[in-house]
Structures are given as C-alpha cells and as structure tokens.
Amino acid sequence: MGDEQISTEKAVEVYIKIRDERSKLKEEFEGKDKELSAQMQVLSEKLLEVCHEIGADSIKTAAGTIMRKVDTRYWTTDWEAMYDFISEHDVFPLLEKRLHQTNLKQFLEENPDVLPIGLQADRKFTITIRRSK
C-alpha cells in the first residue's frame, strides 16, 4: 500500500477485502489439505500393515525409507488426583510451563494487589473491524 494517504473509510474497505480473500484462500487450502491428509492416512495405514506383516521397524525403498515408531500421549481424567500425585512425588516438571491467560487475567482483576514474582505482561492495542450492514 506504500506511503500514499488513504481515507479511513478506504482503509476499512481494503482491510475487509483482504480479510475476505484470506478467508477464501484458507477455506480452499483447508479443503485440499483435508483431502491430501486423508490420502496420506490411507497410505500410512497400508505401510504400517506392511511393517507389521514382515516384523520390520524400517524398510528401505528406492523412493524413501519407512520408519515405524510408537507414539505415546498421556492425559488424566482426574486433575485433582494428578496434582496430588505431582506434589507428593515432587515431579512438577510433568507439567508444561505456561499460564492460562484467561484465568490469570481474571485472577489479577479480582486481586489487583496480589502479583506473583516474575510475572511479565505484554500489552498492545489491536483493532477489530466489522462489516457494515
């Protein structure tokens, strides 16, 4: 857009057009990506089957090498018991180091005189544009 002067109304109009185009492109991408992902999933299942049938964790081909591995994810259905377990065994590294933004914001609003040591905040103005009716 350069340094030329444009009216606020024109800026809003262009902003909405760009946003609409981005939404259209995102929708097209996500649709095509979903198709390709489904095709890859079918191939992955077939290749896992081949690995299982021959008892291999790795198969080298002229096109590339298949490597089979086990992925494991963990979760809990009882957070209170998990917190007790973590505390009892002093294994706080089992938790990820991030703060729940909404809950912390609410806590700080309700307790303006209570601040944890080391808490940092980054505030910036943003805009939201709604389309005219």
HEC readout, 22-72 = HHHHHHHHHHHHHHHHHHHHHHHHHHHHHHHHHCCCEEECCCCEEECCCCC
Q: What is the signed CA dihedral for 56, 57, 58, 59, rounded to 10 degrees?
A: 30
Residues with Cβ within 8 Å of 131's Cβ and at least 6 positions away in sequence, in order, are 16
Q: Would you state the pLDDT for residue 127?
A: 87
pLDDT in tens, 78-128: 999 999 999 999 999 999 999 999 999 999 999 999 999 999 999 998 989
User: What does the pLDDT read at residue 27?
Assistant: 98
Confidence band of 3 (pLDDT split at 50, 70, 90): low
For the segment 60-81, the average pLDDT, to the nearest whole number, is 96
